[in-house]
Amino acid sequence: MKKALNARCGGCGNIFLIAVLPMPLEKAAQLMKRAGCPSCGETKRIFAAASTPIDESGQSAGFEPVDNSVDNGEN
């Protein structure tokens, strides 16, 4: 199954597609380096986010953003 390699913008938190895996790691790294946020234009603070499976229709099956914040589950 193909997977979407996502990136998270350090500027606005937007998550966007960088590459579709499998792809040679060095090429994916190059894409990551060159990537700019399509939402705010940030190019420096682009971080790797979760990769997500792509279903048969070729669309990403949904983002699973990496969230470092701790959710205590308290209301």
Contact, 11 vs 42, CB < 8 A? yes
The least CB distance from residue 52 to Zn ion, in Å, is 19
- Beta-carbon-side half-sphere exposure of residue 46 (alpha carbons within 13 Å): 23
3-state secondary structure of 34: helix
Positions in the binding site for Zn ion (CB under 5 A) = 9, 11-12, 14, 37, 39-40, 42
Read off the amino acid at residue 45. R
Between residues 2 and 16, which has the closer beta carbon with respect to Zn ion? 16
Between residues 22 and 38, which has the closer beta carbon with respect to Zn ion? 38
Between residues 43 and 53, which has the closer beta carbon with respect to Zn ion? 43
